Amino acid sequence: MKDQAAKLRLLAKKMNINPEEPRVMQAKKRIRVITIASGKGGVGKSNIAVNLAIGLTRLKKNVVLLDADLGLANIDIILGIMPQYNLSHVISGEKTVKEIVCNGPQGLNVIAGGSGMHKLANLSDSELDSLVKELNSLEEYGDYLLVDTGAGLSQIVLSFILAAEEVILVCTDEPTSITDTYGTIKTIRQHGYEDKINIIVNRVKNNEEARDVYNKLQYASKKFLNCCSLEYLGAVREDNQVGQAVRNQKPLIIGAPHSKAGQDIYRIAMDLSNSRGPSNLSKARRFFNKFADYFRQV
Q: Does 151 bind ligand ATP (CB under 6 A)?
A: yes
Q: Write the DSSP assignment of 8-19 as a string of letters.
A: HHHHHHHTT--T
Considering only residues 34, 35, 39, 46, which one is a binding residue for ligand ATP as defined by CB under 6 A? Answer: 46
**Among ligand ATP, Mg ion, none, partner that 209 touches (CB below 5 to 8 angstroms by kind):** none
> What is the nearest approach in angstroms of ligand ATP to the Cβ of residue 273?
21
> Would you give the binding string for Mg ion spanning residues 43-72, x where CB under 5 A is met?
--xx--------------------------
Q: How far is CA 152 from the centre of its chain?
A: 16
Q: How far is CA 266 from the centre of its chain?
A: 16
Considering only residues 116, 150, 251, 262, which one is a binding residue for ligand ATP as defined by CB under 6 A? Answer: 150
Q: Does 218 bind Mg ion (CB under 5 A)?
A: no
Length of the chain: 298
- Residue 4 CA to residue 6 CA, distance in Å, equals 5
Which of 267, 261, 227 minimizes the C-alpha distance to 243? Answer: 261
- Closest CB to Mg ion among residues 70, 292: 70
> What is the nearest approach in angstroms of ligand ATP to the Cβ of residue 27?
35
Write the DSSP symbol of residue 250: S
Which of 198, 189, 164, 150 minimizes the C-alpha distance to 39? Answer: 150
- Residue 291 CA to residue 160 CA, distance in Å, equals 6
Q: Does 157 bind ligand ATP (CB under 6 A)?
A: no
Give the residues lining the site for Mg ion (CB under 5 A).
45-46
Give the residues lining the site for ligand ATP (CB under 6 A).
38, 41-47, 69, 72, 150-151, 202-203, 236, 238-239, 242-243, 246, 261
